[in-house]
A = this chain, B = another copy of it.
Amino acid sequence: MATTVKKFVVGIDIGGTNTKFGVVDRDGEIIEQDRVLTNAHTQVADFITDIYDKLMPMIKRAGGADKFAGIGVGAPNGNYYTGNIEYAANLQWKGIIPLANMMAEKFGLPVKLTNDANAAAMGEMEYGCARDMKHFITITLGTGVGSGIVIDGKIVLGNDGFAGELGHTIIRPGGRLHKGTGSKGCLESYASATGVRATALELLESRKGTPSLLRDIKDPELITSQTVYECAIKGDPIANEIFEFTGQILGEALANFVMFSSPEAIVFFGGLTKAGDLILNPTRRAMEENLIQVFKNKVKLLYSQLKEADAAILGASALAWDDK
């Protein structure tokens, strides 16, 4: 039986609000893309049909399913081993959803599934700045802190498929409460947009005597990582201290990750990376300070090379190439 050369894959990113999907080629170019509302359907089967109706015409325009290596899906609590979405808190389908099997049946293509943070790492390895790397870690600094760990060219999934929850590692024992998990002092409580905002509110309170542009913002709801950034680049001392503090904690955590898996690089994604050197400089300094000699001045800190708007689809699509 002749096999057709597989030129394309499909990437599907299931988010809390939107599900984005697209046809992707070997070079990581998105040929066509579209989206549906994730929560428009109470039944998963209807959700899949919705995607199918929009995606099949794209697949046909690209030459038909024969040209496709498969479908990769990034989803909250997606388990690579089982292909299931398991107890995802921010999706309306409860319990265990055998999404990969259901999609494979509908599309007649192989379907692979993982969580969104692992998908981001896969995207960086397939199309981004980690193309030649066997050992790296991706850290997404967004509303929360996500992570994907690659060792020997493979995503670390662990015994149950849920490995790589670095945002939940404890870096300030007994520290700031994480409302979602109840744990105290985890990385996500500090090195996320939410954490930066919390640090801002704390510092504005504890540095009552220090003037700050942030004090001009009358509604505390409007103090965000973005406004802190805007004040910091104007030289505001408290705004700068917020990023110093955030970088210090992030750097300490990175040192621990390096001493675990000794990666070639750590690649950053997410909104908070817009703060650039304001956060990266203290991060690098704290990381190096906490590494033992053998690891010092070895590990690269890089920004993702994938366009943020494309990264989710690209990451999911990377799962689907045959060699994964």
On A, residues with C-beta under 8 Å from B are 133-135, 149, 151-152, 154, 156-166, 168-173, 181, 183, 252, 255-257, 259-264, 290, 292-295, 298
Are A160 and B262 within 8 A (Cβ)? yes
Residues in B whose Cβ lies below 8 Å from that of A159? 133-135, 262-264, 298
Report A19 CB to chain B, min CB distance, Å.
23
Complex Cα spacing A85 to B186, Å = 37
Q: Residue on B with the closest CB to A154?
A: B152
- Neighbour of A162 across the interface among B163, B255, B294, CB < 8 A: B294
Option from B156, B161, B183, B292 in Cβ contact (under 8 Å) with A165: B292
Complex contact B298–A160 (CB within 8 A): yes
Give the distance in Å from the alpha carbon of A161 to the alpha carbon of B152 in the complex: 11
Q: Are A158 and B262 neighbours in the complex by a CB distance under 8 Å?
A: yes
Main secondary structure of the interface of A (DSSP, over half): loop
Q: Which of A161, A168, A264 has the largest number of chain B CB atoms within 10 A?
A: A168
Tell me the minimal C-beta distance from A40 to chain B in angstroms: 27
Judge whether B163 and A262 touch: CB under 8 Å: yes
Contact partner of A166 (CB less than 8 A), chosen from B171, B181, B259, is B259
Partner of A255, one of B134, B149, B158, B170: B170
Q: How far is the CB of A94 from chain B (nearest CB, A)?
A: 15
> Among B149, B152, B255, which residue has its beta carbon within 8 angstroms of that of A260?
B149
A171–B255 Cα gap in the complex (Å)?
Answer: 11
Q: Is B169 within 8 A of A259, CB to CB?
A: yes
Q: Which residues of B contact A170 (CB under 8 A)?
A: 171, 252, 255-256, 290
Nearest neighbor of A181 in chain B, beta-carbon distance: B292
Given A134-B159, A160-B298, A169-B256: A183 and B262 interface contact (C-beta under 8 Å): no
Given A165-B259, A166-B260, A173-B252: A151 in contact with B156 (beta carbons within 8 A): yes
When distances are taken between beta carbons in the complex, the residues of chain B under 8 Å from A252 are 170, 173
* Cα–Cα, bound, A169→B260 (Å): 8
Residue of B nearest to A184 (CB): B290
For A294, the chain B residues whose CB sits under 8 A away are 160, 162, 165
User: A292–B173 contact, CB under 8 A?
Assistant: no
Asked if B163 and A261 sit within 8 Å, CB to CB, the answer is yes
Would you give 26 A-B contacts (Cβ < 8 Å), ordered by A?
A: A135-B158, A149-B261, A151-B151, A151-B156, A151-B158, A152-B152, A158-B263, A159-B262, A160-B262, A160-B294, A162-B262, A163-B261, A164-B262, A165-B259, A165-B294, A166-B259, A168-B259, A168-B292, A169-B256, A169-B260, A170-B252, A170-B290, A173-B252, A181-B293, A256-B256, A260-B261
Cα-based distance from A298 to B163 in the complex (angstroms): 13
For A166, what are the chain B residues with a Cβ–Cβ distance below 8 Å?
Answer: 259-260
Q: Which of A151, A166, A171 has the most CB atoms of chain B within a 10 A radius of its CB?
A: A151
A153 → chain B closest CB, angstroms: 11
What's the nearest-Cβ distance from chain B to residue A292, in Å?
5
Chain B residues, CB < 8 A from A263? 158-159
Q: Which B residue's beta carbon lies closest to that of A163?
A: B262
Say yes or no: B262 contacts A157, CB within 8 Å.
yes
